[in-house]
Homo-oligomer: A and B are copies of this chain.
Amino acid sequence: MSKEESTAPNTASDQVADITKGVQDVILGEDGKPLSKKALKKLEKEREKEAKKQERMARDAAERAAREAAEVDYAVDNYGNPGINMSQKKSDTKWTAVKDLSASMADQVVNIQARVQTSRPTGNKMCFLVLREATATVQALLVVNKDSISKQMVKFASSIPSESIISVSAKVVLPNEPVKSCTVGDVELHVSKLFIISEVTVPLPFSIADASHSPQDYEEDPSLNRVMLDTRLNGRVIDLRTITNNAIFKIQAAVCQLFREYLINDGVTEIHSPKIISTASEGGSNVFKISYFKRFAYLAQSPQLYKQACIAADFGKVFEIAPVFRAEDSNTHRHLTEYVGLDLECVFREHYHEIMYMIGDMFVYIFKNLETRWAHELEIVRRQYPSEPLKYSEKPLRLEYKDAVALLRKHGEEIGDFDDLSTPQERLLGELVKKEYDTDFYMLDKFPLAVRPFYTMPDPTDSNYSNSYDFFLRGQEIMSGAQRIHDPKLLRERIKALEIDATPLEDYIKGFEYGCSPHAGGGVGLERVVMFYLGLDNIRLTSLFPRDPKRIDP
């Protein structure tokens, strides 16, 4: 789109021509009869008067047009498109982020670089802009004045395509009343300079406004456009620009940051285990196969065996944040083929509860800090996706599996003592626990041995159960963990009992034959934590560029 878009309206002289067109014909009065001489004379006078007026108007308009065309635009240095920034210059200009604008800066002139979310001219002397940078929006306006802002400049501002990026110099002004439609509502910007940094050159697949509606918006106006998930994901680079999505990914980053803060403070060492592995070592066919020079290799389904190798290698306590690959053909709202695993594995001294409770405390640390340090982002997400703040206790609730089974049975569920929980049962359990204990977060301990992987340590008193746990958030699993078998003899027994091929596991078992401390750990799905924490209904909303069996683009 360019500045030529506004087609010229009919000119004043065109209008005059229309009016005088009928004069040569016989003229009839309102009663349908020819007019009297007197009446004709009067009409003639009126016509002359009108014609003169039109002439004058036409002359004025023509002069104005000529003047405008000829006149030196006194604002010409204050706006424009300077072309591609190839780092031609450096200056000591101070730049301000939109989110940092505040009433305390009133009357200061600030420099901003931001997107034009909308541009709305009012007459030809004024233009309102909504400027957006990441999770912040602010209202800006240009008003013609005789020193620095010309009509040409206002026209230029009005014609900037939405989503273009501009730089402005502007005075911070306190508005008469707060600008409710912007996140920064207590100030507005009176622009004095405006330059294009990057102009949008193609139509957008959907508008940022349409991608930003909340359920309440649709309630108030059901005719609003809806952007379907697939459309959003196909145009993810646009979709991610909404302040909501910007905030979701700030929260995703925050979860990682807080996970690390807690663990590093606790003496846990970060590791990076290989993702290319030689065999589908954890069993199961859900691994992706790679061509690796003249042979094949596989993508790691989890860092499980490697993080345990680090325990056998005396790393003590380790964590890893890395992609995890699952070749499961599951097309659900909560499965991805590639997700971010937050894994940890820790030596304990006496009992695996040392680690289980540490992980519980870590989650409480994450939840608590999200609420305080990321309050702004949470508020923004909840505008579009309303959710109740998470309920949890300072010391996380621990439930035993058998008690959960009893609770479910009490409420009419049919479930065997050693059966795994189905997804609906997990949700129901979440509701029952919420009702009884007023918490959205709890740890379910002592799972049946039969439903856990081969490397899970059996319970010492009842081998139907195991030293393993899942953590639940709003009734859905976010972490699975356990004490692992560190004794090679017992490990081989379990491998044999489960009829697993031990051959690809020999390196792993060797680690324990060389001596290994008792240890426990767990694996967290980052996207799931963010999804359930924010009460979102699809995991694709919390993955930057989601991957599922049908999607590997963009």
Contacts and interface: CB of A to CB of B under 8 A. Distances in A.
A340 interface: yes
Contacts of A299: 290, 299
A241 interface: yes
A314 B246 contact: yes
Interface stretch (A12-20, A51-59, A88-96): A88-96
A54 to B, nearest CB: 45
Contacts of A457: 86-87
A467 B86 contact: yes
A275 interface: yes
Interface stretch (A35-43, A347-355, A399-407): A347-355
A273 B318 CA distance: 23
Nearest to A257: B264
A115 B327 CA distance: 39
A518 interface: yes
A24 interface: no
Nearest to A312: B237
A331 to B, nearest CB: 11
Q: Which of A237, A271, A526 has the most CB of B within 10 A?
A: A237
Contacts of A458: 86
Interface string A369-397: 00000000000000000000000000000
Given A86-B467, A87-B460, A459-B86, A269 B290 contact: no
A197 B517 contact: yes
Given A86-B467, A490-B84, A507-B554, A515 B199 contact: yes
A530 to B, nearest CB: 11
Nearest to A483: B87
A509 to B, nearest CB: 10
A535 interface: no
A359 interface: no
A329 B293 contact: yes
Given A271-B544, A518-B197, A547-B274, A314 B86 contact: no
A38 to B, nearest CB: 67
A249 B270 CA distance: 8
Interface in A312-349: 312-316, 321-323, 325, 327, 329, 337-338, 340, 347, 349
Nearest to A255: B270
A87 B544 contact: no
A224 interface: no
A553 B467 contact: no
A269 B240 CA distance: 14
A430 interface: no
A204 interface: yes
B250 A269 contact: yes
B89 A350 contact: yes
A314 B133 contact: yes
Interface string A135-166: 00000000000000000000000000001110
Contacts of A544: 271-274, 306, 310
A90 B164 contact: no
Contacts of A540: none
A513 interface: yes
Interface of A: 84-91, 93, 95, 113, 115, 132-134, 163-165, 167, 197-202, 204, 236-238, 240-241, 245-246, 249-250, 252-253, 256-257, 260, 264, 269-278, 288-293, 297, 299, 306, 309-310, 312-316, 321-323, 325, 327, 329, 337-338, 340, 347, 349-353, 457-460, 467, 483, 486-490, 507, 510-518, 526, 544-545, 547, 549, 552-554
